A and B are shown apart, each in its own frame.
Chain A
């Protein structure tokens, strides 16, 4: 969690230094989900993520230097500066993402069918938010996964806000998880600010899908501490409300309290871990910012594998 937050804080610093010139969506406040899912993911599993994808990429084992370099639009980035922060693709870890809300799930469905055909026990994880849970793609992917009992886990990060639109105002159901019954899927709900709970529930979801139980919807409720994107004026909620969320639901603070209360760690040791991660990311960011930008001469490269015949 601490490494993930340090990563997104480095992204914010990169933005301040104008190394990122487009939209940036950070996941600060949602670290317990990223960290909680990491334990149950196997290398052959696939993860198809969203516009807010950094923690999922790190959880799947995507190289953080290449990821940060891509976010900072560098030539040595994961996708050579063509993808940027919303579109990281890493075939070596079966990780990909999409900037289109809800579009991750049909892609995850494809991985799930491939795994099924090959007789692998790998699982495809499609991630979306509460906003994405209302899309047609969510419904269609779950119809097909449910009918064919495919090994797919749909992780819904429900931060209750689709930019400004509140989940309670637009959802026909109190939770997303309860819709699972409509698709013959297992529906699970977890407090997405509690890393231990996420780890347990996510492992349960993965086991279910891995053992041919069919698809799972796991809904992790959480809070987005910052705007939808950096620069979001957040006219839809007050400063006080945001402050309250940060003080009440910070997954790192909550976990620190649990560890110190149980007598496992002292505050000083935890402070040291956080400082260490912060320092490491500071070094990494400065290395990344020294990397060259992509050469404009190659801007047309990679459109096609097979070139147009002469």
Chain B
């Protein structure tokens, strides 16, 4: 295969195929990895992110679960305690309401409660984000998991990061909540504005390092997941208007790479945090405060946040667009900040 065909394949490849590839490479490497979830086996996942895995690795290692999230989430805890490395798929992150008990009271706390004697290598893979599915199928909830001590919380954007961070999550000895975005799962490689080359073999990225995905000098914009793509689109618009925006993909909420954001904001003097999760008690305030604590309260001229106001996600497109930060909403806020208002 020539380099050119390979690149073309990656451009045509849906994001879920890259995720499935990452899981397969790790399952090949480590026989203790197994996957449990609804529709992940025979159907290959509702987005195709586990396609082909059951044929390759068998039903014991890629198990179609009944709609019993509390049961199979707790099963993940027991499997980890028994020395396995389970990946538990909660189809949509909104469904954690029925199994959060096993996640936050067991998985997240057992390593600490055991005084470090019991490791908890579990990946909770789930999909969040808005694609028009209204209040019970559109949330992000990374702020919720980040608020509860004991989880690492990852929400990548590019296919490159999905592959490297999924491998890192599966190799981690800590519980990792891996939140995909449904809108990204519907994209192919070529649809991404930011699409670094995806190596064919297995590789890991460190969990907890942000990436500067566009250099700029006037405003620092920090965000993650699908909003990175919206931010890049807004930054392109602003560039035409003479405003240079630096875009940072946080890639994880826990650990939160404050240093990278602070370094950038220290240079630009302006920070905007955009979050598709709810506004209050969330990522946008936490990151803003951490940056200010790191730089000092007089280091920045503007600190703003843009997130979903504290309402459930509505069904109608006009209403959804009014609350979820998209390219236009982000561009408007950047323009206002650039004017210094």
- Interface residue B327 (Cβ < 8 Å from any Cβ of A): no
Contact B72 A114 (CB under 8 A): no
Min CB–CB distance A123 → chain B (angstroms): 12
Residue ID in chain A nearest B257 by CB atoms: A309
Contact A144 B78 (CB under 8 A): no
* B-chain residues with CB within 8 Å of residue A115 when the two chains form the complex: 82
Please name 17 further chain A to chain B contacts, defined as beta carbons within 8 Å, in addition to the given A83-B114, A114-B83, A116-B60, sorted by A numbering.
Answer: A46-B78, A89-B114, A99-B105, A103-B74, A103-B102, A103-B105, A103-B106, A107-B102, A113-B78, A141-B74, A144-B71, A302-B112, A302-B114, A304-B152, A305-B172, A306-B172, A309-B206
* A-chain residues with CB within 8 Å of residue B255 when the two chains form the complex: 308-309
- Choose from A108, A136, A303 the contact partner of B111 (Cβ within 8 Å): A303
**B interface, size bucket:** 35 or more
Please, how many angstroms separate the alpha-carbon atoms of A116 and B79 in the complex? 11
Min CB–CB distance B332 → chain A (angstroms): 35
Within 8 A of B (CB), among A122-147: 124, 136-137, 140-141, 143-144, 147
- Interface residue B336 (Cβ < 8 Å from any Cβ of A): no
Min CB–CB distance B299 → chain A (angstroms): 21
Q: Mark B100-138, 1 if CB is under 8 A from A, else 0.
A: 011001100111111111110000000000000000000
* A-chain residues with CB within 8 Å of residue B76 when the two chains form the complex: 110
* A-chain residues with CB within 8 Å of residue B86 when the two chains form the complex: 110
Knowing A108-B78, A144-B66, A308-B208 are in contact, say whether A89-B118 is a contact too (CB < 8 A).
yes
Min CB–CB distance A43 → chain B (angstroms): 14
* A-chain residues with CB within 8 Å of residue B209 when the two chains form the complex: 309
- Interface residue A117 (Cβ < 8 Å from any Cβ of B): yes
- Interface residue A111 (Cβ < 8 Å from any Cβ of B): yes
- Residue among B61, B74, B152, B172 having the largest count of chain A Cβ atoms under 10 Å: B74
**A interface, size bucket:** 35 or more
- Interface residue B93 (Cβ < 8 Å from any Cβ of A): no
Please, how many angstroms separate the alpha-carbon atoms of A82 and B114 in the complex? 6
Please, how many angstroms separate the alpha-carbon atoms of A98 and B74 in the complex? 11
- Interface residue A27 (Cβ < 8 Å from any Cβ of B): no
Show 9 residue pairs from A and B whose CB-CB distance is below 8 angstroms, ordered by the A residue: A91-B117, A99-B105, A109-B78, A113-B75, A114-B84, A144-B66, A144-B68, A302-B116, A309-B207
Contact B65 A46 (CB under 8 A): no
Residue ID in chain A nearest B173 by CB atoms: A305
Please, how many angstroms separate the alpha-carbon atoms of A98 and B69 in the complex? 18
Please, how many angstroms separate the alpha-carbon atoms of A82 and B112 in the complex? 7
Contact A110 B82 (CB under 8 A): yes
